Structure 1
Amino acid sequence: MGIPDSGDRMEPADFLPRHRLQSLLDHLLQQGFEILAPQVRDGAILFRPTQHVDQLPRGVTQQQAPGHYRLQQGDSPRCFSWANGPQAIKPLTFTPQETLWRSELQADGSLRFHEAPVVTRATAVIGIRGCDLAALALQDRHFLERIEDPLYRQRRDSLLLIAVDCSHPADTCFCASTGDGPEAQTGFDLALTELAEGYRVRAGSVRGESIMRALPLVASDATLRQEAIEQATQARCQQRSLPAFDPAGLIHQSEHPAWDRVADACLSCGNCTSVCPSCFCHSEAEAPTLDGQQSEHQREWDSCFSEGHSYIHGLHVRPDTRSRYKQWLTHKFGSWVEQYGRSGCTGCGRCIGWCPVGIDPLQVLRELGEEVK
């Protein structure tokens, strides 16, 4: 397979040879963007500030299974031959902890309130997967459409999203069955398909088109186009799939023995909700200074698996692991359908890989679905 000649313009210029990938980063840096891209940190793939392609996880692959996540180093020139890391881009918009406002005690005993400013910088994120773009769209539905969250809006508007189609889904992935991957479909400014000798590039916004015009692209030939088709077809052949079930029926399966079986294994640690790219549960609390003169009202990630999350005056609505797991599963796959027209799951499989006891919620859904049938 050869790289097309740069003088061949019969086809649109949409291919970036591998040795020219740095030109993309250089252009973004020249435009004033901070770049976040995948890097290997502490045995996982994490988004970190990046300025050179040598920082990308070249040759890195993954092994994922229930309760298992391991990276392996190979000699492939590819930089994106892995499925995902423990976090998507949720922390960049819905931050783990932030101050919503500050209050100050006045001499007359009244309180003066101050907005908490958000300092953002134009940020380009490279390497986003299709399942995570779908999860971001769900976050947008909650934080921008139902009631607009100004802090979320400011962070969201600062992002330039560059997706990379997933070519090596993990054994825990099932995005093909949810319709959210492995290719990036919507919500990106620019999307790349990594092939053996480089990247096919497509734009998803006006900003993306502007970036494409600035890159040293050449035209794809028929061989490259066929390679992209075959790679996408192979990536859709995933071991797991979302089972057929009645979302509304989940809520009425209160006495199904599947809830007891999963409660016996579940630790209520909240790992699944922490790594989930669409979960948005949070708590709010006051953080006063020691002298009592000032206070910050803070919001931080919470989990429906925590005891305090279901507490109301004098009562825990969900007092045990069984009821908490039921709340999570029925909300993710049942209530979301009623609220937003689709489930809250995009098939990334993180909840399976990062569960310390290897619980697979797809298996629980199958058990419940068999009862409904």
Structure 2
Amino acid sequence: MTGGTSEGVVLGVDGMEELVGALIRRGRTVVGPTVRDDAIVLAELTSAAELPYGWGVELEAGRYRLRRRADRMAFAHSAGPQSWKTFLHPERARQWSADRAPDGTVTVTEEPDRPPSYAFLGVRPCDLRAISTQDRVLMGGRYADPVYRGRRTGTFLIVVECVEPGATCFCVSMGTGPGLSGDCDLVLTEVHDEHGHRFWARAGSEAGTEVLAELSGRPADGATVTAAGDAVTGAADRMGRTMPQTDLRNLLRGSMDAERWNDVAARCLTCGNCTMVCPTCYCTTTEDVTDLTGDHAERWRVWDVCYDLDFSYVHGGPVRSSGRSRYRQWLTHKLGTWHDQFGSSGCVGCGRCIVWCPVGIDITEEAHALHAEAGAEEERGGQAGER
């Protein structure tokens, strides 16, 4: 059985249009997947007709291509170049502006973020876990991020369970999918078989129940529920990638001097693409800008990456000056020390970092290589002890 319960309703394709309409009538800005610029991207939707019906994707390390499907499924595609972080933790946010009057007085104005009331349609289970991870990072401590909190609070989440994973997906290894694994307002499972194209919809909150009650669905039947469950189970069996079956935190902790870091450093461009597309990376820095007169200044918060030389800069130079040390920092934090900070892994298995790496570096391949090297070292140590 998939996430939720066997209750709920079955919606036809027209039900998606009703769903988008019901959300818009509530004043929601609906964001979901659509085809644009030869990719499936996240953008504001004014109609369910903008969903990527009949489109799939071909993924590999360093490769992304749209492809036409033989059916009209709307959500049978894998993670695209964006995540919901784009809307909840935006790339740029102005914090304040300052203006100097002719008499020399300076007025500083804080910049309150006034986000729309979002409804996210098509959140994957791995991305739902990513959102909950960023909730802990950006709202879970004493100092909640006001921009994130303002955008996240009240966001209506519609999760779509995965029925067709990509070649770079490994959510099963991270325990984040392909079925529902968290709280949301609505959950959908898309089914396309000899009985037609439809969606099994279940409510996960009071707000979700209210929306679902407005849609012209029929009670969930056994055939649809079974087909939906089989589709999600089948997706779990067809994952394109895996992580090694070991404690990744201990593996990374014991691999700080591994030879493999030299191998990946010879390929890594330290461009930071993997952090840009990652749904959980959260680091930022600040930039101050002025106009040509010097009478107006602004401070902006912008995304930052641990591949940047300035990221670890202290008096005398950067702490991590080599590409080897910067890639190692990213991977050991993502899979290892994130646990110490936030109580979970920083990776949800979406595979975006693999697809959008210009040279095709594969996080699962690197983890397997480190595991193999650690095993070989342990074996050599055992043999030396026997002698």
Shorter-normalised TM range: over 0.9
Alpha-carbon distance, 1:353 to partner: 0.8
Inter-partner Cα distance in structure 2 for 1:310 and 1:111? 33
Indicate which of 279, 282, 287 corresponds to 1:280: 282
Is the Cα contact below 8 Å between 1:246 and 1:372 reproduced in 2? Answer: no
Alpha-carbon distance, 1:202 to partner: 1.2
SS at match of 1:236: helix
Q: Deviations over 1:322-368 (max 9, x none)?
A: 01000000110111011122110000000011111111111211222
Inter-partner Cα distance in structure 2 for 1:119 and 1:339? 30
Letter in 2 for 1:326: R
Indicate which of 300, 303, 307 corresponds to 1:301: 303
Letter in 1 for 2:205: S
- TM-score, normalization: structure 2? 0.90
Q: Find out whether 1:365 has 2:367 as its counterpart.
A: yes
Inter-partner Cα distance in structure 2 for 1:15 and 1:309? 50
Inter-partner Cα distance in structure 2 for 1:187 and 1:299? 29
Indicate which of 160, 164, 167 corresponds to 1:164: 160
Q: Find out whether 1:131 has 2:133 as its counterpart.
A: no
Aligned residue number for residue 241 of structure 1: 242
Change in 2 beyond 3 A, CA 1:55/1:246: closer
Q: How does 1:73-152 map to 2 (within 5 A)?
A: 73-105=68-100, 111-146=106-141, 147-152=143-148
SS at match of 2:78: coil
Q: How does 1:192-341 map to 2 (within 5 A)?
A: 192-196=188-192, 197-237=197-237, 238-243=239-244, 244-341=246-343
Point out where structure 2 has 5 or more consecutive residues left out of the alignment: 1-5, 376-387
SS at match of 1:40: strand
Change in 2 beyond 3 A, CA 1:144/1:12: closer
Alpha-carbon distance, 1:185 to partner: 2.2
Inter-partner Cα distance in structure 2 for 1:251 and 1:325? 15
SS at match of 2:122: strand
- TM-score, normalization: structure 1? 0.93
Q: Find out whether 1:173 has 2:175 as its counterpart.
A: no
Task: Quote the sequence identity (%).
Answer: 37
Inter-partner Cα distance in structure 1 for 2:337 and 2:8? 45
Change in 2 beyond 3 A, CA 1:183/1:290: same
Inter-partner Cα distance in structure 1 for 2:89 and 2:136? 13
Aligned residue number for residue 378 of structure 2: none
Change in 2 beyond 3 A, CA 1:193/1:313: same
Aligned residue number for residue 190 of structure 1: 186
Q: Deviations over 1:93-131 (max 9, x none)?
A: 110011112233467867543211212221211111011
Alpha-carbon distance, 1:84 to partner: 1.4
Is the Cα contact below 8 Å between 2:8 and 2:200 reproduced in 1? Answer: no
Is the Cα contact below 8 Å between 2:7 and 2:202 reproduced in 1? Answer: no
Inter-partner Cα distance in structure 2 for 1:172 and 1:345? 13
Inter-partner Cα distance in structure 2 for 1:201 and 1:47? 21
Aligned length: 363
Aligned residue number for residue 385 of structure 2: none
Is the Cα contact below 8 Å between 2:55 and 2:72 reproduced in 1? Answer: no
Is the Cα contact below 8 Å between 1:121 and 1:158 reproduced in 2? Answer: no
Is the Cα contact below 8 Å between 2:286 and 2:301 reproduced in 1? Answer: yes
Is the Cα contact below 8 Å between 1:130 and 1:184 reproduced in 2? Answer: yes
SS at match of 1:202: strand
Is the Cα contact below 8 Å between 1:283 and 1:302 reproduced in 2? Answer: yes
Say which is worse superposed, 257-266 or 301-310, in terms of deviation: 301-310
SS at match of 1:332: helix
Change in 2 beyond 3 A, CA 1:248/1:109: farther
Indicate which of 31, 38, 50 corresponds to 1:36: 31
Alpha-carbon distance, 1:149 to partner: 1.1
Alpha-carbon distance, 1:319 to partner: 0.6
Change in 2 beyond 3 A, CA 1:201/1:284: same
Alpha-carbon distance, 1:144 to partner: 0.5
Point out where structure 1 has 5 or more consecutive residues left out of the alignment: 1-10
SS at match of 2:96: strand
Inter-partner Cα distance in structure 1 for 2:93 and 2:14? 40
Inter-partner Cα distance in structure 2 for 1:39 and 1:353? 19
Aligned residue number for residue 27 of structure 1: 22
Say which is worse superposed, 134-143 or 105-114, in terms of deviation: 105-114
Q: Deviations over 1:144-194 (max 9, x none)?
A: 112211111111125211111111110100001111111222132111101
Inter-partner Cα distance in structure 2 for 1:308 and 1:340? 25
